[in-house]
Chain A
Amino acid sequence: MSVKEAMGCKEHFRKAVWETPFHARTSALNIVNQWHAWKDYTTADAFFDEQLEYAAIRNACAVFDLTPMTKHLITGPDALAFLNRLVTRDVAKIRPGMVGYTIWCDDNGQVIDDGTIFHLREGVYRLCSQERQLDWLTRNAFGFDVTIVEDTHDVAGLALQGPTSCAVLKAIGCTGVQNLKPFAIGFFQFHGTELTVSRTGFTGDLGYELWIEPAQALELWDALFDKGKIHGIRPMGTHALEVARIEAGFLAAQVDFHPADQTIMADRSRSPFELDLGRLVDFGKPCFNGRRALLAEQAKGSRYRFVRLDVEGNKPARSAYIYDKDKNVVGTVTSAEWSPSAKKNIALASLHMPWGRPGDELWAEIYYQRELKWYKVMARCQVAEQPFWDPPRKRATPAQDY
């Protein structure tokens, strides 16, 4: 029985966490047997060695099972108008066959979630998000001729990320995939079914996301690992992906910001500007959720600034307080890792305004343990203007084999 079938029956409670369509393969490869629950599914923390899995992302290619990601199919004559009212950016600019990263806000201009809009075919959209959105989408659909269906369980998804990812896809029969531009979608035949490939990902590198019917999931996995072997393919877990995600400077809901519709206290949610996502707000659109509040914020100023920090030393500044030169708390780190590619100690942080300006003196308070003894360091932080990892191959089209 699948989780989707289980939802139709009273006895579903006998199993709380389910397996994705790739589980037969991922479980065989997961020699460390480390898993955690991601929404309905169990998902791998790691497979064999987090550092080597990470290395595969940057050096060859690695595969991540993203089936549990929430997906909504949005169709109907008003699909575009509906999405344009929902999100902050101009969805009309996402042409058929393209993907757009976006955020959406509540009426107070606070970010509910971020995600990607796949313009699969003319007027057919898929919205992928961290949190489930059926309630919010439905509430936003008054007056629009639009159909919204959550189809998370109908699509199996894999991320194939890294410099050799294009070579692997060509090897499994995705002819011409190298010509897909960043954020473009291609459709390929795979063993008699349609394989959707988008040049997207969460690693800030050359990489693709693959979407297929769950029944074909294992065949896809096997083909990738069969043809990918000579290209250094490896499975990766969430821990390796997390390092790559922070290097790329991508946000994670529930980590770098708290979804506004689940936030109890008013000062704990964030606006797009407060997440350094002002570029995704298009005031040229006459009407979208949060527009009025965001215009007011622009006039009045934001409460917070989201920054990338280059932290002195090599101790990751996880959950650290950030201080100014007078030892006042001016913010907190939301994500932090040692960056193996940049060879830097990196962090994402939310600071109170006006801190985070170029030249501001900032310090992270870091605690770490050696042989059960605790140490504290105050590490100087520099605000970084660019992502810590942004290789030209990420954008190069046609994609090379590397």
Chain B
Amino acid sequence: MQTINFLKPNRDNIKNYSIIGSFLVLVSLIDVISNAFLKINLTSFLPGSLTTLFPLIIGLIGLNMMRIDYSGNKKLDLLNKNINTNNFNALLTLLILFSIIKALPQSLSWMIFDATISGDSKDACTGTGACWTYIKVWFRRFMYGMYPNEFHWRINTAFILVIALGFVGYFMKENLKKYLALYYVIIYPVIAYLVIYYLISGGSFGLQWVETGAWGGLSLTFIVSFFCLIFCFPLGMIFALGRRSNLPAIKYISICYIEFWRGVPLITVLFMSSVMFPMFLPEDFFMDKLVRVIIAITLFEAAYCAEVIRGGLQSLPRGQYDAAKSLGMGYWKMHIFVILPQALKLVIPGIANTFLALVKDTPLIFVVGLAELAGMLALAKTNPKWLGFAMEGYIFASIVFWIICYAMSKYSYNLEAKYKTER
């Protein structure tokens, strides 16, 4: 006698069950979608809380009916394996699907359908959605800060030049490649500094002087993170080697340096650079706030860099050191030609993470009064003509930073894959 199995499919009746099951799931999805998008409650005839639970129950029953091991149907197997392994998993699947469907129309209509982007004053924003007009009007401020509008080409040119110079390494001739490190560590920073100083600051060659107080927005974020990046790496390398040194004085100086900077929050370092550091400088010596901030962040991140590089140095097998020494190489020769090339390859992900942290830390310079993107947002938010658009501003900034950071992390994955050596 055949037992009646209501909710448990087997291979004979799989077809019926999968059809009924997918139909039930479909019904539950349609219910939720119509609820969310069209604001029609299909199950209003049901009492109270059952209305909200209805799609969940129906969906669960449907998924349960579809669940069978090795049904023979490839698509069904794939579905079961990925989202429907047991009841708990099925519940989670449904919950995630429903919450996505529920959240979608609200956020879509706020961000796109009900949003305004036309016009150039607050009056244009009358709808219930986001007011992208605000971003549009303030866009130049968010990008360039208080830098005079007619000189924005100077910032753009400087950035293009610096980026182009950075790619020089790719196109260098083979016989010049040995000077690559020299170029990136010493020549490139100097040229970049000169380019940025003469183009963005101005003051000579007929360019008007623009003080650093007027710099701001995303371009300032780039400038600060760029200089900190290129300076903190060599500094970190020195301290990493110092910490691994056999000479006790150098070793302990490096340890103290690294542990000190790693133990304090960046914000106090910035406070130090802005209120305490001027006290330590000679009387008639004036150092620009931006320069002080860059020095502070560089010193801070160098400690993190050093720890990452030290990890790479430590993970090299002793044999590499011994082999290099047995060839008669001295300390510097051994490190430059044998140890560092291998160690640096190993620490690419770590270094990328440090740089990522650095970029994410740059908004902090806001606390010492430098208005980069977060600072400009704070300014724009309190502008009496544009009150009440904090949400749009922060969402815009978050998207910008997210794209930058996500691209950086993806690029580091690529680098890691490219330089991977089998051991």
To the question of whether A and B form a pair in one complex, the answer is no
**Interface set of B (CB-CB < 8 Å, partner A):** none
